[in-house]
């Protein structure tokens, strides 16, 4: 059976459903300026429809900071995971941190990232509560003398000293505490109930941590190319939205 037809069939007959969704590159396309990637009205309407079904629990799992996610998705029925698992917001609850995480290391490492950003036009440093991020989507690294690998080398001693790790995504490099990842956060939902249906969709390296902890019965979908733990693939954000619209009863997913 076509996996897409099987997925929609399993969804329709299941009683408890868990839907784990990455944001950037999965629900919305990438933008040079991350602030321009706010959810559009069609996406908000789609998610609202999914949430209105009492069988569904929908969790947005993002690297975004928790203030931004809370501003964009303020429905009390929406669960949110921010900063790759550093912040959690359960249905009807308030934001809380995953564990006692230190962020005093940022003062030491921020000048290094800012130096690299100054050398590469179009790149910039984003500061989150528990991490620092170097964005270079709008830059032209091929013509520059400074490369991402050089930043990793410059940070290597501090990474070891402070117990940090470098996580590379789609034209971003993020420095965060070891042990904080989307998979660990997702497990809090996965292990909570006996789910009849689990769907996880994501597009980059950070989402692999979620795919890796899913039970065998779950549906995992990688958006785009590249190696992945996911069982299935979709080509684009438009395909992801088409699938979710089908599940929400608002359209027909092309099989």
Active site residue 22: yes
3-state SS string over 167-206? EECCCEEEEEECCCCHHHHHHHHHCCCCCCEEEEEECCHH
Q: Count other C-beta atoms under 10 Å from residue 4's C-beta.
A: 19
Can you list the positions of beta strands (E) in the chain? Answer: 17-21, 56-61, 79-82, 87-89, 96-97, 124-127, 131-135, 164-168, 172-177, 197-202, 219-223, 232-234
Q: Which helix (H) or strand (E) element contains residue 8?
A: helix 3-13
Q: Which of 189, 14, 192 is nearest to 88 (CA)?
A: 189
3-state SS string over 13-28? HCCCEEEEECCECCCE
* Inter-CA distances, 89 with 50, 130, 185, 234, 248, Å: 18, 16, 11, 28, 23
Q: How far is the C-alpha of 203 from the C-alpha of 62, rounded, in Å?
A: 11
Q: How far is the C-alpha of 122 from the C-alpha of 114, rounded, in Å?
A: 12
Q: Which of 171, 175, 64, 65 is nearest to 120 (CA)?
A: 171
Which residue of the set 22, 24, 203, 207 is catalytic?
A: 22
121 contacts 137 by C-beta, under 8 angstroms: no
List residues with catalytic annotation.
22
């Amino acid at each position: 059976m076509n996996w897409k037809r099987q997925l929609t069939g399993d969804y329709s007959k299941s009683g408890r459903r868990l839907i784990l969704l990455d944001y950037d590159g999965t629900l919305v396309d990438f933008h040079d300026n991350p602030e321009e990637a706010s959810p559009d009205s069609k996406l908000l309407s789609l998610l609202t429809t999914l949430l209105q079904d009492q069988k569904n629990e929908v969790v947005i799992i993002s690297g975004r900071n928790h203030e931004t996610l809370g501003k964009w998705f303020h429905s009390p029925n929406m669960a949110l995971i921010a900063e790759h698992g550093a912040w959690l917001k359960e249905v009807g609850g308030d934001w809380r941190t995953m564990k006692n995480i230190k962020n005093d290391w940022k003062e030491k490492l921020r000048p290094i990232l800012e130096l690299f950003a100054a050398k590469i036009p179009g790149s910039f440093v984003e500061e989150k509560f528990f991490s620092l991020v170097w964005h270079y989507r709008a830059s032209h690294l091929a013509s520059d003398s400074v490369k991402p690998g050089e930043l990793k080398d410059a940070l290597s001693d501090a990474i070891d000293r402070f117990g940090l790790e470098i996580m590379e995504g789609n034209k971003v490099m993020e420095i965060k505490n070891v042990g904080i990842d989307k998979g660990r956060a997702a497990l809090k939902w996965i292990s909570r109930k006996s789910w009849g249906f689990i769907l996880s969709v994501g597009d980059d390296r950070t989402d692999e941590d979620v795919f890796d902890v899913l039970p065998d019965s779950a549906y995992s979908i990688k958006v785009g190319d590249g190696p992945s733990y996911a069982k299935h693939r979709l080509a684009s954000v438009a395909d992801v939205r088409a699938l979710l619209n089908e599940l929400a009863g608002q359209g027909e997913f092309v099989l």
